[in-house]
Chains A and B, each alone.
Chain A
Amino acid sequence: MNHPDTASAAVPAPETGLRHVLFPYADEDGFLAGTVSFVEHALGAGETVVVAVSGPREQLLREALADTGSADGVAFLDAGGISSNPGRLIPVWQSWMEKVAQSGRPVRAISENRWTGRTSAESAELRYHEWLLNRAFAESPVWWLLCPFDTGAVADGTLEALEGCHPLLLGQDGPVPAAGYAEVPYAFEALGDPCDPDEELVFSAGALAAVRERVTLCAARHGLPGDRLRDLLVAVTEVAANSIKYAGGGTLRTWAEDGRVICEVRDGGFIADPMAGRIRPTLDQNGGRGLWLVQQMCDLVQIRTSAENGTVIRLTMGTEGA
């Protein structure tokens, strides 16, 4: 298999930003063919290589690289320690990139997301995360991110959806522009219907305590334990406070499904920055910490916002912990 930057003159070579490559494979041999060649080429060019893949895949790759004498030059990151909430992944990558960039060498990374065992809502947010990566690193020094994807392990249609999130697709002859990739706008999946939600609570200034009370009642009915409830209350408070501040108030709905408590806040405001909540706040910034904390506290955060229809934010917290 040709290496990404040795083939296909059709691939644009930007001065900055992420070269984000989707790498579909059908079996272990295919996985190794693409990843080992990627690593060896990078090491040959004196570049830094970081790998974040699941345990079995990591072992497979480690053994293959050991066979070729390349294992020592590769940093394996603990993929198991990475949050399952896709909304927390960009700052994780930014943190890694800051560390590895200190070497001054170009960076190539391999990251395989876990797609199985996720709810459809979680998978949808993970796809959005993949799409947002392109924007998050648009101004960064050039680096490559190869995203292996096991085509046999996921539902039909997933590969096509992922092509819409990756500008490049790795084939036998190297990377080519992904036909389905759209720079803007992102085509969000519609939010699912709530499962027997509690009565709506319309709130405005001075009602944060009432919002928390409603969430506490729902959480108690569905067995959300103390620490998780407190995390959820902080998150809901942040979202409701934003609704009050930017839209004069909002509407709260709560329900539970499949061992998860879900809180939804709707308002008439619009969140213009798609990176809101996904960038680690600085010490000196004014405000803008609420959505960051929300992403860190919850198992899943779904945001749908437009100037025409306002904003819907759903917060999910599992009763068993993420």
Chain B
Amino acid sequence: MRTARGVATLDPVDVGDHICWIAGPGEDTAGPARAFVADGELFGDMVLVLGSAGDAPCGPQSWESLFREVRRGTERAAREGFRALRVLADLSGLAGTETRPDVLARHELRLDALVADSGAILVCRYARAVLTPEAVDQVAGVHPQHLGRGPVGPAFRLFLASRDRWSVSGVVDTEGAETFRTALGELLSSAPVLHLECGDLEFMDSAGMTALAAVARGLPDRRIELHHANATLSRSWSLLGFEHPEIPVELKR
């Protein structure tokens, strides 16, 4: 089972990790990148750097080319006896071309599923300057891990926890509800049944639940199953009247 966490450096990253690195202006990116590459040799990983290991952003040409590189690299790493594929991808160029949060969420969620399935290690680096504040929140919320010092991370994280189960952890409140709605909408549009693990969800306020209900109601031929929702969430959901035939959401303890 993959778990959400923040990391102060790239040293502790492990197989299956999908790390969000939003680099601020003037931040040293070359040092951590070199260390990440060096660790690849140490752990017997095949290393793939898409973009410069230094400051200049020159990452993949397209999201599809990134998916292709990761898939091929994973297969090759397995064939050649490496522990895993270790990727550092500078996505500032892609994000600079298309900054819409829903587009970023869609690609990152697909990447997360790919990383989880393939057992790769993927660090997605973005220059903060190319992202809108909404896009920063959106991108951070769809990675299970983020790189950053200090206790503050994304309010919630949505990621593939196990084979067919996505996880939402943290807090979904009014400040993150729109981001949550976007990410959830992207997930539900690609699966007939979305299993959402809520065991690590601290709570969701009315704005978050309204977002969840709206996504489900907007795709009536799909279904969302919430697993291990806590008592407060279950009660709130009922109190808000969302236990309704028009809202295909089922809460399972």
Question: B-contacting residues of A (Cβ < 8 Å)?
Answer: 205-206, 208-209, 212, 227, 230-231, 233-234, 237-238, 241, 245, 280-283, 287, 289-290, 292-293, 296-297
Name the CB-closest residue of B to A231. B232
Which residues between 204 and 246 of chain B lie within 8 Å of chain A, taking CB atoms?
205-207, 210, 230-232, 235-236, 239-242, 244, 246
Name the CB-closest residue of A to B239. A296
Q: Which residues of A contact B247 (CB under 8 A)?
A: 283
The residue that A233 contacts in the complex, of B175, B203, B240, B242, with Cβ under 8 A, is B203
CB atoms of B174 and A208 under 8 A apart: yes
CB atoms of A293 and B240 under 8 A apart: yes
A28 to B112, CA, bound (A): 70
Which residues between 187 and 203 of chain B lie within 8 Å of chain A, taking CB atoms?
202-203
A208-B173, A209-B171, A230-B232 are contacts. A237–B241 as well, Cβ < 8 Å? no
A231-B232, A283-B241, A283-B246 are contacts. A290–B205 as well, Cβ < 8 Å? yes
Closest-CB distance, A68 to chain B (whole angstroms): 40
CB atoms of A241 and B246 under 8 A apart: no
A280-B241, A283-B241 are contacts. A227–B175 as well, Cβ < 8 Å? no
CB atoms of B241 and A281 under 8 A apart: yes
Q: Which residues of A contact B246 (CB under 8 A)?
A: 283
Q: Which residues of B contact A289 (CB under 8 A)?
A: 206, 210, 240
Most interface-central of A237, A238, A282, A290 (chain B CB within 10 A): A237
Q: Which residues of B contact A283 (CB under 8 A)?
A: 241-242, 244, 246-247
Map CB proximity to A onto B133-175 as digits: 1 under 8 Å, 0 otherwise.
0000000000000000000000100000000000000010111
Closest-CB distance, B243 to chain A (whole angstroms): 11
Name the CB-closest residue of B to A294. B206
Q: Which residues of A contact B173 (CB under 8 A)?
A: 208, 237, 241
Name the CB-closest residue of B to A236. B205
CB atoms of A209 and B155 under 8 A apart: yes
A230 to B232, CA, bound (A): 7
Q: Which residues of B contact A297 (CB under 8 A)?
A: 232, 236
CB atoms of A282 and B241 under 8 A apart: yes
CB atoms of A293 and B174 under 8 A apart: no
A237 to B205, CA, bound (A): 7
A255 to B115, CA, bound (A): 47
Closest-CB distance, B135 to chain A (whole angstroms): 16
Name the CB-closest residue of A to B152. A209
A234-B205, A293-B206, A297-B232 known, 17 other contacts, Cβ within 8 Å: A208-B174, A209-B171, A212-B171, A227-B230, A227-B232, A234-B236, A237-B203, A238-B205, A241-B175, A282-B241, A283-B241, A283-B242, A289-B240, A290-B205, A290-B207, A293-B236, A297-B236
The 25 listed contacts between A and B (C-beta, < 8 Å) are A206-B175, A208-B173, A208-B175, A209-B171, A230-B203, A230-B231, A230-B232, A231-B232, A233-B202, A237-B173, A237-B174, A238-B205, A238-B206, A241-B173, A241-B174, A241-B207, A281-B240, A283-B241, A283-B242, A283-B246, A283-B247, A290-B205, A292-B206, A293-B239, A297-B236
